[in-house]
Structure formats: structure tokens, C-alpha cells
Structure 1
């Protein structure tokens, strides 16, 4: 069943005073369920972009991440309409037709209830190292930031600086800081801002204390070892002063693991493990990605494939992982889960458990299947109703009612299957509908 369009794509977001989540205007947590569409503005026509956005909105996504100056071509290669972003390659001379196309796509996304996680530029264009392109310097970065910030002041978006790169010298730090300063001046502080890094890294390592960095963004990247990189989401959650954290680039569905085309391709199981691991480790949302979709690759269009994509972006929109992210959204929306407070001591690694800030229940995840044993004595609930949620299908089964009393070793929930599964414990006195129900 498709999701109804969200009504809050243009509403202003803020960081909750707790530092744990992004808040809507009424104080409720904003549920960031993102998709990765780096080449959306550059490679797709208006009609193709509309098809992409309508599909992702129906699947339950709430945001798409896209780049104004894209990685694959950027300032030098025309978009699908034949337009370049700047006149004569000058970052201070925008070419209006190029930006009018982005205007239309952003507006269409907002109409469908999708925010845009907008990267002003890919990181290679502010890097000054030999492998960088040095397109921006500090002066042009600030001027461009102010210009694009002004242009999209009224749009429904969040700013994402960086672009798969990290600063390696004082000059690059200055460029990033100056672009952030320009954005703030241009959009008058309307939109939140973060920074997208290279793989196995995060914004907290470079800008955690920067006043412009509203929330931390990790790129846990395209490895599939657990817990491995995903423990770093919890580390960012625990960092002080507290700032919300999200994994803005986990492993993509159908990408060669470790970006090595000799290795297997990641599948929907890898997608689920990354998503649930991040959320139960305190992330305020999650971003999904598919290897063909981020680059909007399609055979027969003369596009150079990056790391051997297996299918066209149109086909890839309907891969299992995207559907399963919709199941995840239904699960989160059916309970006041967010923000989740991680309780790693409650479960046995590699299993995870967390409790909503309201202490209204427990959610636990077994990434490799098998039984879950939970120590719940510290939770102020007398009796639990237990539910098993299948993250592959979105189906729920009732598992009984249990007294929350101290037991040696904790509460045991047996399971023999090797597939991952989710356990939800509700307060039996509340009579909640099954997890995943959208009423």
C-alpha cells in the first residue's frame, strides 16, 4: 500500500533541545527516511525525475539526497537538458536554465511530501589537493553558498556540505567554513546543516563543535562487517555536546562489497542490518541507497558505469531493500519509538536493544537470527506484550504476555531461524495495535 503524501515537507525543522533528534514545528520527531540520488539533477530529465520522486514517495521515503554540482560531470558536463551550471565555468555566474531545472525538481519533491537533502557541491570541487579539482576557493565558496542559500530559502530541504570528502588542510577547512557561512547568510538560518564525509568516517571528527553543524552525518560506507563501522554510530550518539546523528551513506543495495568488483554484491539483508543497527544505536533516521540509483545509470545512454552496476536505475527502484525500508518506516510510525535510547547492556552482542525516551517499551534486533535474551528489569513496565516483526515482509506475530521480573540471564525469546528479526515489547496495560499497523 503506498504511503500518503506527507504534509510537512516545507515545515521548518529544528534540533530538539535534547540533542537527540530533529523536531518538527509541533515538537514531534521528524522521521528522516532518505534515499540516495546523487545524480538526480544532472542525469535525469524532468519526466524521469518526476517518475523517480513519485515512486520513492509511494514507497515511504521522506527525503532524497541529491547534489547540485554532481560528482559525475559537475561543472563541465551538461545535464540531461543540455545545460551547464555556470557561464564560462565561473562559479559566480550561474546559468539560469540549469538552476531552473533544479528548482522544478525540488518543487516537485516537496509537492510529493519529500524533503531534499541538498549538497551544494560534491567534495572534489572544494578540494585543493592534486586529486581535487580546486573549483572553489574560500571567496567563491562563500559567495556561492550565499547565492544558493538565498535561492532555496523557501524550499523544503536540509543542507549537506562535504560530498564524500574530508578536509586535509587549513585551506580546505576554511573553504568549508566559508561555504557554510554563505549558506547561513543566504537562507537566514532557515534550514539545518550537516557534512557528508568519506567512507568509515563522520562529521563529528572534523566539525562537531562548529556552530553551523546542526547534526552529525556518518558514512559507514560499503563494508558489511558487523558490528564494525556501525559501532561508530553509537560512539557519535554518545559524543558531547549531544548532537543528532544519522548514517547518510550506509552500504548500498547491489554494490560490490568494499567497492571491489571481485567480491559479492550487497543484498537486502545487508541493507536491513545497517538500517536497524543504526536506529537502535541512537540514529534519528536512516538513508538507504541503491548502487544503480545513486548514479542514475541506464544502459544505452553513453554513461560510464561506476563499479559495475547490475541494472538500470528504473529497475533498481523496486529492489527488495527499498520495499523493506518502507516496512521499517511503518514500524517506526506505529510506535512513539523515536528518539530511541540505546541500551547495549540489555542484549548480547551482536544483538541490540533500545528503549524509547518515554520508556514505553523495548525494541530489539537479532541481525543474524537466533534467540534474543534481554535484561529488562530496569524498565518501569510491569507486564509486556511481545511481538515479532519480520523486517523482510513487514508481518507481525503475537508472542504472548510476560511479567517483567528479574530472571537469571533475562527474558529469553527463542528463535531458530538464521534470518534477522525484530522484537517489540509493549506495555501490556496500553493495548497498542500490532507493530507496523498504520491506523
Structure 2
């Protein structure tokens, strides 16, 4: 297994000045860190069509917005899902000449260059998919076309590796597909080999699988897979995302695992059951801006900001090294008046400020403040009744006993085991994940266990309980 050695490489290109900031994996195999050894919190956004559908000014607006909201990783696809090989980008350019991966179109890749450079200037790491999975054979065909074999996949990988050797990014192979057979596995292996040859092993590499699965399900732990990524998908509210982290972290050798695609804010629940994916299917059911008029067409509703926030906390408290938020309009980069892939509620610009996206800044702030790299998932800390369903309380303790966390998606009285918490003085707070505000718990004394009642108990009023050893609080 390769281990990436952090390098600070400053160089001039024809486009701009870039300072490479490739991520490393922490010595314990659980998390990411910067070249300087600082913990890196993966808070991603699925901007799959970023390179394909946005022009320079639109891309800058998108990146600046996400940077201000605290996102750290932007996941985007060079050969995109929305007919990204045969439909030109926002500048009118196709990625290849004659659909040949060994004949890249310089104009197309200059646009990719620009976006990656702009993201890096803002301190954002790019999660770059060389291609969506429909360009390689699978059991779930898409727009395609199928253009890769072992030879050209390696050539294309080497081209990308060399071109983006000094950028701040991670490589994400796959693209919503499982590995259909040995021949397909060899194509992905060849692309990964080309990437590593081209970038001299400077970047971490993972694989984005189909829904409700992990890269550990799709692959047999190839040497190039530096960390696992799972897609819990869009099947239901309160999906048991913690099962993916638990399974991946039990594997050996241990690697970080990241939620790469959870339920998107504003996407219909189990949308595939209520649409046929045919051109013009909803042409008489959209408003003047191109969004769905009658949400009742999807009887299970649309995922809300609350829904995605629950998944975010459940993932991290299960030991995942990161969480990727998504919005249905943003992944498509859906523009007013255009045809959507999956029915939208707003255009991509309007979607940037949706409640779930805004709450991600408070999500990140909470975990960075407590040193998330100490998290050890431990459901035995909850002494109240606590089954694996939508009422579940998710709990974790620091590996040094300096804090205990309990996340209550549905507020109710909770009894916490505090026997492993260190210190003679404890501090307790209720953290509001909707706005980042804290409410102190007064007169908290060390005890084997204590019972707590959240400040409010309304619908979708989730709360985070934090009990800390006062002597070990960061930035006291």
C-alpha cells in the first residue's frame, strides 16, 4: 500500500500559481491530515457536473459560496454523467477528439484546470473523478458511451496525473457503479496505475460505488485504494449509515472511510420508483423556472435539511473520517428553464443556501472544536433504551476519555454512562446543530451516570450533548 509523502511544491504554470497541499492518512489509519500534520475534516459537496455545466464566473461563484460555508472538499467529474463525452461543456468544448481518451481536447482541460486552481486558491481540496462510471461497462448502463479499455484507461490516467500533479486533490475512481467483472476491474486498475505514474503517487485514491454499498464491496482491496468511500444513497429517511462505517473500520488493514454520497437535500425519497427517466417525462408538470410544480408526484416526499443533518452526525459519530453533503439541484448544476435529470425544487444557485447546506458550517465547527480524531463510537454509553431505528441516539467517547458525545435526532430524555470520562470537573453543553448556539448545563458533577433532558422537544429539533473534562477543553 502506497503512503503519500506530503510535499510543498510551488510552481508557475501558464494559468496561475499553485501551492500543492496533498492530504495524508493519519498514522492510526482512521483520518486525514495536512502535510503539516494538522487534522483535516472532510466536509464534501457533490458538485458532479461542475466541470461540465458551469462557465468560469459561475464556477467561481459556486466555489466561493461553498468555501464561505466551511466546505473542505468539492467532488466533481471530468467526464460527467449528463452525456459528458458527447455534450460540450459551458464553453462549447468536448473532452476528446473523436471520443478517444488518448486524444484530449486542450480547451476542455484548460477549463478543468481553471476550476481546480480556483478551488485550491480558496483552500478547497478537489475530489476529482476522472470519469463517471457509465463510460465503462457495468450492470447499470447510463448515457455512456463505453470508451475505456485497459490501454487507453492507463494513458488517460497518466495524462491526468501529470497534468494535476501539483494540485490539491484526491482521485475518486468509480462513479456510482460496481465492478461488473474481472475485465472491468483491470480497467480501473490500469487507470489508477496511470494516475500514480503521472502524479508520482502524490495523491490519495478511492472509489465511489453504487448506492447502499462501499468501495470495500466493489473492490478486493487493491493496492491503489488508500481509503474507502461508501454511498448510503437516497432510499429512505433515517437510513442506517452507521453500518457502513462500522463494517469498513472492522477491515484490516484499517483505512479511513468516508460517506461520499448520502441522501441529497431536496431529492425525492426513492425517486426511481416514481419516474421512468424518459425525455419530456415531466414537461407538463414544471413551473416557469423548470422546477417540479406538484411535489405530490413523489408520495414519500423530498429529503429536507433536517434529514441530511441527521445523517451527517450519525456518520461522524460512527467513526467516518468525513461526510459529503449533496443537493439535488447542485449535483446537476440545474439552471432555470432547463430540463432536469431528477425533479428539482430550485435552480443550483438558489440551492446553495438551502437549510441543510447552511447547517454544515455548524456541523464542521462542532467537530473541529472537540478534536474529532479522538472519536471512538460507543453505543453502550447510552443507558436509556436505544434501538437501531429513527429514534436512535448515536454516541461516542474520546479515546483519552476527555469527552462524551450523544446526538439526539429526536429529542428525549437520555441517560449517559460517564464512568470512562476523565477529570474531577466536568463541563456540559447542549449544542444546537441548526444554528451553532450552545446552552450550558449548570451544576454538573462527576457521577457514574447522569440523565439529561434536551432544551426543546419539537419536531426536527435535534440536539448534540457534549460532556467534557474541564481540564482538557481546547481553547478554554
TM range (shorter): over 0.9
Is the Cα–Cα contact under 8 Å of residues 282 and 339 in structure 1 kept in the other structure? no
- Tell me whether 1:76 sits opposite 2:86 in the alignment: yes
Q: Greater CA deviation, 249-258 or 21-30?
A: 21-30
Is the Cα–Cα contact under 8 Å of residues 369 and 474 in structure 2 kept in the other structure? no
Q: Decide whether aligned partners of structure 1 residues 129 and 367 sit closer, same or farther in structure 2, where only a CA change above 3 A counts.
A: closer
Provide the secondary structure at the position in 2 that maps to 1:217.
Answer: strand
Is the Cα–Cα contact under 8 Å of residues 401 and 420 in structure 2 kept in the other structure? no
- Tell me whether 1:318 sits opposite 2:353 in the alignment: yes
Residue 176 of structure 1 and its aligned partner are, at CA, apart by: 1.0
Return the alpha-carbon distance in structure 2 between the equivalents of residues 9 and 282 of structure 1: 30
- Tell me whether 1:265 sits opposite 2:265 in the alignment: no
The TM-score, its normalising length taken from structure 1, stands at: 0.92
User: Aligned-residue CA RMSD in angstroms?
Assistant: 1.8
- Tell me whether 1:353 sits opposite 2:390 in the alignment: no
**Structure 1: gaps spanning 5 or more residues:** 1-7, 435-439
- Tell me whether 1:56 sits opposite 2:66 in the alignment: yes
1:68-118 alpha-carbon deviations (Å, 9 max, x no partner): 000001110000000000011111000000000000010000001111000
Residue 412 of structure 1 and its aligned partner are, at CA, apart by: 0.9
1:332-367 alpha-carbon deviations (Å, 9 max, x no partner): 222222242111211234111112334321121011
Is the Cα–Cα contact under 8 Å of residues 224 and 270 in structure 1 kept in the other structure? no
- Tell me whether 1:15 sits opposite 2:33 in the alignment: no
Return the alpha-carbon distance in structure 1 between the equivalents of residues 423 and 116 of structure 2: 45
The TM-score, its normalising length taken from structure 2, stands at: 0.85
Identify the match of residue 278 of structure 1 among 309, 312, 315: 315
Residue 25 of structure 1 and its aligned partner are, at CA, apart by: 1.8
Q: Greater CA deviation, 208-217 or 330-339?
A: 330-339
Is the Cα–Cα contact under 8 Å of residues 361 and 424 in structure 1 kept in the other structure? yes
Residue 142 of structure 1 and its aligned partner are, at CA, apart by: 1.1
Provide the secondary structure at the position in 2 that maps to 1:199.
Answer: coil
Identify the match of residue 441 of structure 2 among 399, 402, 406: 399
Return the alpha-carbon distance in structure 2 between the equivalents of residues 183 and 430 of structure 1: 43
Query: How many residues get paired?
Result: 422
Return the alpha-carbon distance in structure 1 between the equivalents of residues 340 and 243 of structure 2: 32
* Aligned residue in 2 for 1:421: 463
1:20-59 alpha-carbon deviations (Å, 9 max, x no partner): 0012222222111111100000000000000000111011
Return the alpha-carbon distance in structure 1 between the equivalents of residues 450 and 440 of structure 2: 16
Q: What pairs up with 1:177-216 in 2 under 5 angstroms?
A: 177-207=189-219, 209-216=221-228
Return the alpha-carbon distance in structure 2 between the equivalents of residues 64 and 178 of structure 1: 25
* Aligned residue in 1 for 2:35: 25
* Aligned residue in 2 for 1:122: 132
